[in-house]
Amino acid sequence: EAGLVKITEHRLFADGSRELEDAVLAFRSEWRLRGDLLAAGLHVDAVLGGWSGEPVGRGAAELIVLAHR
């Protein structure tokens, strides 16, 4: 599906042990994300651009969503 990226995270700990974890990242526009959440029965209260409450486009290049049922 478009917008999905498969990654494998590699972690090396101080004791020399290692851990691998596969994940899928979903890249969506703010409007696509709002629509997907609405379709899932959620009401979006706010979409932020970073963990400190920055507006979209001015933060950590992430979409932080506050939503409820």
DSSP state of 54: P
* Residue 4, pLDDT above cutoff 90: yes
Confidence label for 39 from pLDDT (cuts 50, 70 and 90): very high
Contacts of 52 (CB under 8 A, 6+ apart): 59
Which residue type does 60 have? Answer: A
Average of per-residue pLDDT across 41-66: 92
Confidence label for 61 from pLDDT (cuts 50, 70 and 90): confident
Please, what sign has the CA dihedral across residues 6, 68, 52, 56?
positive
Which residue type does 4 have? Answer: L
